[in-house]
Amino acid sequence: EPEVTQTPSHQVTQMGQEVILRCVPISNHLYFYWYRQILGQKVEFLVSFYNNEISEKSEIFDDQFSVERPDGSNFTLKIRSTKLEDSAMYFCASGGDDYGYTFGSGTRLTVV
Partner 1 sequence: AQSVTQLDSQVPVFEEAPVELRCNYSSSVSVYLFWYVQYPNQGLQLLLKYLSGSTLVKSINGFEAEFNKSQTSFHLRKPSVHISDTAEYFCAASRGNRDDKIIFGKGTRLHILP
Provide the minimum distance between the beta carbon of 20 and partner 1 in the complex, in angstroms, as a whole number: 19
Query: Does the protein bind partner 1 through residue 25 (CB under 8 A)?
Result: no
Stretch that binds partner 1, among 12-20, 61-69, 70-78, 100-108 (CB under 8 A): 100-108
Binder to partner 1 among 43, 78, 81, 112 (CB under 8 A)?
Answer: 43
- If one asks whether residue 16 binds partner 1 (CB under 8 A), the answer comes out as no
CB of 50 to partner 1, least distance (A): 5
Q: Of 94, 85, 101, 91, whose CA–CA distance to 9 is shortest? A: 91
> Least distance to partner 1 from the beta carbon of 71, Å?
21
Contacts 24+ apart (CB under 8 A), 69-76: 69/32, 73/24, 73/25, 73/27, 74/22, 74/23, 74/24, 75/22, 75/23, 75/24, 75/25, 75/32, 75/49, 76/20, 76/21, 76/22, 76/23
Select from 17, 55, 73, 110 the one that contacts partner 1 (CB under 8 A).
Answer: 55
* 56 near partner 1, rule: CB under 8 A: yes
